[in-house]
Amino acid sequence: MKNAGKMLVLGMVGFLSAGLLLSGCKQAPELTKANALALIQAKYDQMPAAGIAIAVDEKGLKDGVSAKYWDRSTVYPNRFWGDFPLTPEGKKLLKLSDGSDKIKWRPENASDKNYSVVMTTVVANHLKVQDVQDVQDEVLPGVDTAKGVDFIEAQNLDGLPSALRGIASNPVNKLTTKRHADFALENGVWKLHSTE
């Protein structure tokens, strides 16, 4: 009976010691989707705002004429080349990649549906973070506790007129990209480690 009593006391002391030891360890704070989105968006907001590169295909060219962003000034003898100078309204919204104020439309042939010219919006915006997926445990070199999320990085069309948003939304343009972000727990706080 003496041994059973000693074993009971030792067991209770061991159990209490383990409880005290575990209660002294701080648990990592939870990294929620909302926290992850805020950390990634904060990084994007710290980067310089930039205009959006917009590829203008044949449909976009016609939409731009309808919106009065450019006019057709010259038609060449082959009847599918043309020059389209930017209107005053177009100059307020767009810059051409070659620095000129005239679209030089030069497809290889009349049925060339892949031809496009690239313009950049004058309005500069920060990228937007959207659709953050579930937070997953990660293993990162040199990091004790890490998490990761997949998310969508989207071009920000705020401040653009609806006609220009329509041109930017044509299939030739890629307005979203799937990305991944890794987070590290540093001094009890989650920090953005990297995005890829």
Point out the domain boundary residue: 101, 121, 141.
121
Helix (H) or strand (E) holding 25: none
Query: Does one domain contain both 73 and 161?
Result: no
Within this chain, do residues 165 and 180 fall inside the same structural domain, yes or no? yes
Residue 154 lies in a domain: yes
Tokens for 188, please give them.
């009890």
Q: Are residues 134 and 44 in the same domain?
A: yes
The answer to whether residues 94 and 154 belong to one domain is: no
Sequence letter at residue 173: N
| 137 and 178 fall within a common domain | yes
Report the pLDDT value the prediction gives residue 21, as an integer from 0 to 100: 45
State the DSSP string of 177-190.
Answer: EEEEEEEEEETTEE
Compute, in degrees rounded to 10, the torsion defined by CA atoms 159, 164, 170, 176.
Answer: -20
**What's the farthest any 2 CA atoms get from each other in the chain?**
112
134 lies in the same domain as 98: no
Spell out the long-range contacts of 105-111 with Cβ–Cβ below 8 A and sequence spacing 24 or more.
105/61, 105/81, 106/81, 107/58, 107/80, 107/81, 109/80, 110/78, 110/79, 110/80
CA proximity to 95, closest of 126, 69, 67 = 69
Give me the amino acid identity at 134.
D
Q: Give how many domains the chain has, as a whole number.
A: 2
pLDDT at res. 119: 96
Q: Does residue 132 sit in the same domain as residue 40?
A: yes
My answer on whether 89 and 182 are in the same domain is no
Tell me, what's the pLDDT at 20? 42
Q: Is residue 176 part of a domain?
A: yes
Same-domain check for residues 105 and 191: no
Residue 7: per-residue pLDDT: 54
The dihedral through the CA atoms of 122, 158, 47, 170 has a sign that is negative
* Residues 85 and 117 both lie in one domain: yes
User: Which helix (H) or strand (E) is 3 found in, with range?
Assistant: helix 2-24
Does one domain contain both 81 and 66?
Answer: yes
How many angstroms separate the Cα of 188 from the Cα of each of 135, 140, 184? 17, 17, 10
Question: Taking CA 90 as the corner, what is the angle to CA 153 and CA 67, rounded to the nearest 5 degrees?
Answer: 90
The identity of residue 172, as a single letter, is V
The whole domain housing 106 covers 53-121
One pLDDT digit (tens) per residue for the chain, 196 residues = 555 555 555 555 455 454 444 444 557 789 999 999 999 999 999 999 999 999 999 999 999 999 999 999 998 999 899 999 999 999 999 999 889 999 999 999 989 989 999 999 999 999 999 999 999 999 999 889 999 999 999 999 999 999 999 999 999 999 999 999 999 999 999 999 999 9
